[in-house]
Amino acid sequence: MINYHPTQQQLSLFAEGNISPAMALVVSAHCDVCTQCQNKVMDANVNLAAELEATQAQSMSDPALDSMLASITQLPVIDVPSMAHSKAPRIELDGRFFDVPRPLQRFVKHTGNWSHLLGKVWQAPVDLGDVGMANFIYMEKGGRVPEHTHKGTELTLVVNGEFSDGLADYDSGDFIVMDDANTHSPHSHAQDGCLVFSIVDKPLHFTSGLARMLNPFSHLFFK
């Protein structure tokens, strides 16, 4: 059950197109599996359309605006090939396959090889092009990322499975934002582990035990 969602402000900014590319990608992936947030974005789009219509009605005497609107309505419709008869790309790890939300499917072919990160945690880098880099991270049952905080922002979508971090318990579809105000230690006790998609704009900062020795190198693993 999905319990953690983007805020109303984040959804509104997403609908307006006034949100960072990284945030837009994770929000869209969440909305792909969350009917509640899909409906909120649709409502925001309806409101934006009504505002545009009202603005258009008030500016009917503006030739420049009329010309711009006319050019928009004359743009060709892009034909998107049907995916009905093609297999959706999936993430594979040791013979196990994971479905991913549709907004992430185009990045599957840009996902690098899995590497053993630490303990029972695995990582595969994802090249997002102009958006930057992300990671698919898989925690086996008993897998744990050492306690850390963030020098920047961490955006996470739970793709499959469950995990906890000392702050909350998360399930498939949950949308999570962490920053320097949060300290946590993600770990999974789920029988089938947990796969997440994560984007960080600055390296993690480990805060306890021997893991602090990793701080000079964290930019090599979490970027």
The pLDDT assigned to 3 comes to 97
Instruction: Give residue 119's pLDDT band: very low, low, confident or very high (50, 70, 90).
Output: confident
Phi/psi of residue 206, each to 5°? -75, 140
Q: Domain 90-221 sits in which CATH superfamily?
A: Jelly Rolls (2.60.120.10)
**Res 209: pLDDT:** 64
Average pLDDT over residues 140-166: 94
Burial (CB count <10 Å: 0-12, 13-18, 19+), residue 140? middle
Total-model pTM: 0.81
**Which pLDDT band, with edges at 50, 70 and 90, does 125 fall under?**
very high
User: How many residues are recorded in the chain?
Assistant: 223
pLDDT of residue 220 exceeding 60, the answer is no
pLDDT tens figures, 42-101:
999 888 888 777 776 665 556 665 665 455 445 444 344 444 446 899 999 989 999 999
Exposure of 153 in the CB half-sphere (CA atoms within 13 A) = 7
- Residue ranges, comma separated, of all CATH 2.60.120.10 domains in the chain are 90-221
% of the chain at pLDDT higher than 70: 79
Q: Which residues pair with 170 in a beta bridge?
A: 163
Greater pLDDT, 49 or 1:
1
Model pLDDT for residues 176-219, shown as the tens digit of each residue: 999 999 999 999 999 999 999 999 988 778 787 655 555 555 55
Residue 62 corresponds to which amino acid? Answer: D
